[in-house]
Structures are given as C-alpha cells and as structure tokens.
Structure 1
Amino acid sequence: MKVGDLCFFYHSGATARRVVGVVSVVKKWYAEDSDLNSEALVDVKAVGEMRRQVDLKDMKQDGELKGFIMFRQQRLSVLPVAEKVWERICELENGFEGDGFDIGKDGGDDAGV
C-alpha cells in the first residue's frame, strides 16, 4: 500500500459484513516495533461513507464480482482489489461521499456514476 492509495473500509461484524466506506493511505506500511513478528500497519484517513451499503452475501451473488479474493479469504485485513472489482462495488453502493459525483435528493445519479 502506498500513500494516496484508496481502500475500502470493510465492516466484518458477526451480523453485518459489508463495505461501509473509503479511506486513503496517509502513511505507508510500517512495523509497530522492531520485533520481526510485529504486524505491518498503515495509517489511513476517512474519505467518505458509501452512499448505499451492500451486504457481503449480496456481493457474492453478483456475477461481475465472481472470483473476488475476499470471497475466499475473508479473514485477510488487506488484499488487492482489481480496478474492475472496485468499480463494480462502487456501482452497487452508488459510490461514496467525496468521489466527485453528486447524488440527487431522490437518490438518482446526477453525474453518471
């Protein structure tokens, strides 16, 4: 992960598993201490919440997301997201606040997300 990368913020609770927002990397990965067994960390800042939240079970049923690594390895805290998968998840969730697209009060897409 590099400074400036956008990442999905995923809620992995027992009752609700879904992408809830987007964050941006503000500090590249680092170890918390010099211990070789220490986990790698990155610092992020909030970019915006998803306009609509889609549960993991619904994402799994979407044919365009077939094969997404998260469906096989749900316990990973960091995994790559292909551009086409990123775009599809954003499409399903009507984008995110701060993405540069305006969403009308009626929930319609005024900018063609």
Structure 2
Amino acid sequence: MAYWLFKTEPDAFSIDDLKHAPNQTTLWEGVRNYQARNFLRDDVKEGDLVMIYHSSCKNVGVAGIAKITSAAYPDPTQFDLNSDYYDPKATSDSPRWVVVDVTYHQHLNKLVSLKSIKANDSITELALKKAGRLSVMPVTEHDWNEIIKMAK
C-alpha cells in the first residue's frame, strides 16, 4: 500500500462532498498536469490511502482520508464537449487523461494546516512543503504518520 495527497478546492469538491456522494465514492477527475496524471496512471493503486487536502480556501490543509477503489481508467470528462475538462486532442483510442475512484474513509479530528505542516521539521519528504503546486503527490509512510499524529 502507498500513501498519497490529493488536492481539491472545497468549493468545487470537498471531503464533505465525498462523504455524501453515492456509496461515498467518486471518480477523481480533472487532473490536467502530466506529472500528476503519471502518478495516477502508473503508481496509484487500488487499496492505497489518500489525504484529501483542501486548497485555495480560507482553511487550507489536510481535511480527511479516502481510499483508492479502482485502477486508473480514462477520464470521461476529456471527451465531454460541455466539460471544463474537455480536451480536443484526446480520443477514445488514445486518451490523454485518467481518473481513479476514491471512497470516503474518514474526516480527521482536526484540519492539519499547511502552516503547521511546513513548521513540522519531522515532515521531510512531502512535496507540499517544497513545491506545493502538484494536485497528486506521494507521501512517505513517515510523513503520513506524522500528519495523522498532528490531527489528533
């Protein structure tokens, strides 16, 4: 099992939205960064755990946990002319973008803020501390455990 952090803007989709989705599951669509896409396509596996990170909002930070419940498959929004994520270069024979299904696992006892993550010297490998722009990023087991400890 691997650990991940997925960023989302809670006014578009939040941990609460995931909790209230049918079967508490949704496809994680709209990833349009090649490095993040490659993580989804090549590395994210069914059974992996994901920190849901709220960004571009008043309370930025890790809000909850989800579980990956499918392997990667073509993102249907890339073919939808009415979608914000439509990609005219994508074809069914050669899709450019992928999704995975995520299922709600739990809310954290408290939001773990970006400020507190950056201030924690024990968190050493998390890309969020360094570059922060990637919407899908791996999390080491050590950093995962440290963030979970911070939420208690």
Asked whether the two chains share a fold, i.e. TM above 0.5, the reply is yes
Higher-helix-fraction structure: 2
- 1:6-54 C-alpha deviation (Å, 9 max, x unpaired): 1101101232210000000011112225374632211100000001112
Count matched residues. Answer: 94
Deviations 1:78-104 (A, max 9, x none): 11100000000000002xxxxxxxxxx
2:27 counterpart residue number: none
User: Per the alignment, in what secondary structure is the counterpart of residue 137 of structure 2?
Assistant: coil
* TM-score normalised by structure 1 residue count: 0.74
Structure-2 separation of matches of 1:14 and 1:25: 25
**Aligned twin of 2:80:** none
In structure 1, stretches of 5+ residues that fail to align are 95-113
In structure 2, the residue matched to 1:4 is: 47
**Taking CA–CA contacts closer than 8 Å with sequence separation of 6 or more, which of the two structures ends up with the larger relative contact order?**
2
Mapped contact 2:125–2:143 kept (Cα < 8 A): no
Counterparts of residues 77-92 of structure 1 (less than 5 Å): 77-92=135-150
Distance 1:35 1:14 in 2: 37
Corresponding position: 1:19 with 2:62: yes
Unaligned runs of 5+ in 2: 1-43, 77-91
- Aligned pair partner of 1:69 in 127, 131, 140: 127
Q: Quote the RMSD (CA, aligned, Å).
A: 1.7
Amino acid in the other structure paired with 2:141: E
TM-score (norm 2): 0.57
SS at match of 1:51: strand
